[in-house]
Amino acid sequence: MAKVLVVTSGKGGVGKTTSTAALGAALAQTGQTVVVVDFDVGLRNLDIVMGAERRVVFDMINVIQGEARLTQALIRDKRIETLSILPASQTRDKDALTSEGVAQIIAELREKFEWVICDSPAGIERGATLAMHHADVAVIVTNPEVSSVRDSDRIIGLLDSKTEMAKRGERIEKHLLLTRYDAARAARGDMLKTEDVLEILSIPLLGIIPESAEVLRASNLGTPVVLSNPDAAPARAYVDAARRLMGQHVAMVVPGEKKSFMTKLFGRRVA
Amino acid sequence: MSFLNFFSRKPTATVARDRLQILLAHERASLGSNTDLIAVLQEEILAVIGRHVTVDRDKVQVKVDRGASFSTLEIGVEIPPAAVEKQAALDRTALRAS
């Protein structure tokens, strides 16, 4: 039975696309079939983060408007056989993303894949509400920072009222993915702790992704971080999160990055 | 930031947590009921005042402080001197008549 998962946050820049790419790759590495779907019409970025930007021919809007078949728009990942990407349109008007069109595409993707991961745009407009509409599971990406937590709370409210599951009277499964976490700053009391965020949002924790230079390196390369440097702290944290999504019990570790001698010596970096 | 500053700095995460808890308690309540009590109160209070004096909307100050245990709503209405004098004159006539 296919699972439709939405990666959402409300606030922009917290790591939705990075997390979509990493979770998608981590799930696909286990041999499950995965498609990652970009819902950010006009500002697509999942293609570039996944390193598929030069292979985009058709996009979701082309499929919705009948200009291309779904199979023609899907791009097969070159590194993982079971991973595909469905890009958003970069040029079309957002209004071309229709509710019926999205419903049709999600239904078709459910037939073809075990995981359909929808990368939501920031905000609470049409793209974001359509990305979450058909979801069975939601991953709420949050930074330990007031504006991100507030927006996540708003998104949780929408997930509980506006999605198809909510309208059927069912409760959508929600998970918190805490990104850009800095254990040292949290310990010093200068960053919200995991427990603080969990207490405020009261949804279960899927994983803690540490702030790390590896994440930017991965997007520079167009390779999900779980593939670019599998031993790095964020890569391990994403792999663990993916295993939890598959229902496995994996102990939660608060990841601390291995620090170089110089970083240890001078501790505080100029942010 | 000076060396001394660094050691005397207070942790800020608890402030962030407390602010969020108060704010979200209010936001969840107002979104749930679909009506903003503060906005309703403000409208109705101004309507009552408007029955007696013409209220210039640009000269109305509204302050809200959403707290953990209670909130305060402060409405400052500037009443034009003409309206006050007119009312005083009316009062005097009423007094003489009685």
pLDDT digits (tens, 9 = 90+) for B7-33: 667 889 999 999 999 889 888 877 655
pLDDT confidence bin for A268, thresholds 50/70/90: very low
Residue A138 has pLDDT above 50, yes or no: yes
Of A150, A189, A191, the CB nearest to B20: A150
Interface size A-B, in CB pairs within 8 Å, comes to 38
Q: Strand, helix or coil at B74?
A: strand
Nearest CB among A157, A188, A200 relative to B31 is that of: A157
- Given this model, what pLDDT does residue A93 score? 80
Assign A270 a pLDDT band (cuts: 50, 70, 90).
very low
Structure tokens at B74: 């402060």
Cβ B27–A153 below 8 Å, yes or no?
A: yes
CA–CA gap between residue A102 and residue A63 (Å, rounded): 10
Q: How far apart are CA A70 and CA A81, in angstroms?
A: 18
CB contact under 8 A, A192 and B13: yes
By the 8 A CB rule, do A141 and A17 touch?
no
ipTM above 0.95, yes or no: no
Distance between start and end Cα atoms, chain B: 74
CA distances from A208 to A17, A78, A97, A98, A178 (A): 16, 28, 33, 34, 5
Within a 13 Å sphere around the CA of A170, how many CA atoms are in the beta-carbon half?
A: 11
pLDDT, tens digit (0-9, with 9 covering 90-100), for A158-210: 999 999 999 999 999 999 999 999 999 999 999 999 999 999 999 999 999 99
Strands A173-181 and A205-210 turn out to be parallel
pLDDT bin (cut points 50, 70, 90) of residue B44 is confident
Pull the structure tokens for residue B54.
Answer: 């013409």
Contact A149 B28 (CB under 8 A): no
Of residues A241, A248, A253, the one with CA closest to residue A22: A241
Return the residue of B nearest to A151 by Cα. Answer: B24
Question: Tokens representing B77?
Answer: 């209405």
Whether residues A196 and B11 touch (CB distance < 8 A) is answered with no
* Cross-chain residue pair A196–B13, CB shorter than 8 Å: yes
Q: What is the pLDDT of residues A80-129, one digit of tens each?
A: 999 999 999 988 888 889 999 999 999 999 999 999 999 999 999 999 99
pLDDT average, residue stretch A138-147: 98
CA gap B55, B76 in Å, rounded: 11
Q: How far is CA A207 from the centre of its chain?
A: 12
pLDDT band at residue A231, thresholds of 50, 70 and 90?
very high
> How far apart are the C-alpha atoms of B24 and A144, rounded to whole Å?
15
Task: Choose between A257 and A8: higher pLDDT.
Answer: A8
Q: pTM of the entire structure?
A: 0.83
Condensed to tens digits (0 to 9), the pLDDT of residues B66-76 reads: 777 888 888 88
Q: Which of A175-184, B38-47, B82-91 shows the lowest mean pLDDT across its residues?
A: B82-91
